[in-house]
Chains A and B, each alone.
Chain A
Amino acid sequence: MAETAEALVDSLLRRLRDPLGEAHPRSLALDVYSRVQVALNAFRAYVLGRFDLVTTPGKSVYAMDADIYGLHHVSVVDKAGLHIDEIPMWRDLWKLSTTWQVDQGPIRGWAMVGLGLFAIWPTPPTPTTLTLSGPRVTPMLTDDDEPLSFRREDADIALDLANALLLLRWRDLDMVAELASRAGARLSLHEANTKQEEARL
């Protein structure tokens, strides 16, 4: 059974030496934790989401908030089990083809245009299903009974950061700096490990 938000908020309030939630209302602790969780997941991708996008002939650009739901950004694209390459710099689309927006054919690449748009090149002439994967936008927790998106052991950095935000409120700035620095160091370490792993592969 998935762990619920209740134990996590209890833990957060204990860290704040406010187990009854008198200085830090439970609803605020839950709200702050939810926001930290969604930001952390965008970076670390603890919880991945998947979305099947059916392409529209002639349409090469899709809005993340209108056409693709639930993903912070796209990190992997498959078409019927085949991996489609990412074009890391979206401006390179113009170098691949000056008419990339209207080019038709089997899809060869995709790019994120900032954080709001997902672009494909070329556009398949018939509706085609692409499977997009990426960090999920974890839902806002509004109730103690809701299941957590992160596993409990992954929630530790999120707890540190939520703790820092709630202490900011009470101007405990030394502790805020300490917690932010600790979380930042752990995140950098994770990034370094990921790069090392990528290099090894």
Chain B
Amino acid sequence: MSKADVLQLVSDLSAAQSDDVEVGVLYDEVIRELGFYEVLTNLERRVLPASANGIFKQSPSTLRSLEIAWNQRRLDRVQEYTLRAVYGATWRSRVGDPMAVTVWDESEGELRLVPRPREGGEVQTLRTETRDELPYWLELPVALMVTHREFMRESNHQDVEFAGAALGLAHLFLNLVGVELVLPPQGGGQESAA
């Protein structure tokens, strides 16, 4: 099932009053927002050569890393200032078995293992991700969320009451398919805050 099916459903639910271009943008927004919840989860594995110096880039489809492991061992997520406080200014040059992961280049989506591994290995990331191909059971709730946004925004077809009704149904259907609309207790925030 593709993004096009969801956009068609939005058009059907709104009796063809939605703006197709805007709805495509809103779809992407809704999928990004769903990344806060553990809905579209996946496991990404990548082999990291020693020459990478422990630096790796996350896939563009990653919305939030739930857990990161090096050679199957879980890594703690640590902020750079903590590394400075614990290891001093030379934390970047430490070499050994990675115990933590930190943001290396936020704009590039790069993370770095700390300490830097001596040898190559495998990074496993349990993550939430964006998808153009949604599971069939998720299409209706997503279409309702998109419909809500489309008719809530200022436009010549704005209809706040209709948008509110769509949101109410979206919440009902999200609950039915197992998406609890509360922020997860830990690891919240977008990937840049990894």
Q: Which residues of A contact B (CB under 8 A)?
A: 28, 31-32, 35-36, 38-40, 42-43, 61, 63-65, 72-73, 91, 94, 98-99, 101-102, 113-117, 137, 140, 161, 164-165, 168-171, 173, 176-177, 180, 183-184, 187
Contacts and interface: CB of A to CB of B under 8 A. Distances in A.
Contacts of A72: 137, 177-178
A91 B162 CA distance: 39
Contact of A137 (B137, B173, B175, B176): B137
Interface residues of B, number: 42
Nearest to B159: A171
Contact of A113 (B72, B126, B141, B177): B126
Contacts of A183: 172
Contacts of B176: 39-40, 42-43, 187
A39 B41 contact: no
B38 A114 contact: yes
B9 to A, nearest CB: 8
Contact of A42 (B13, B41, B128, B178): B178
Given A63-B43, A113-B66, A176-B169, A102 B72 contact: yes
Given A39-B173, A72-B177, A94-B67, A169 B40 contact: no
B69 interface: yes
Interface string B52-80: 00000000000000110100111000000
A165 to B, nearest CB: 7
A38 B165 contact: no
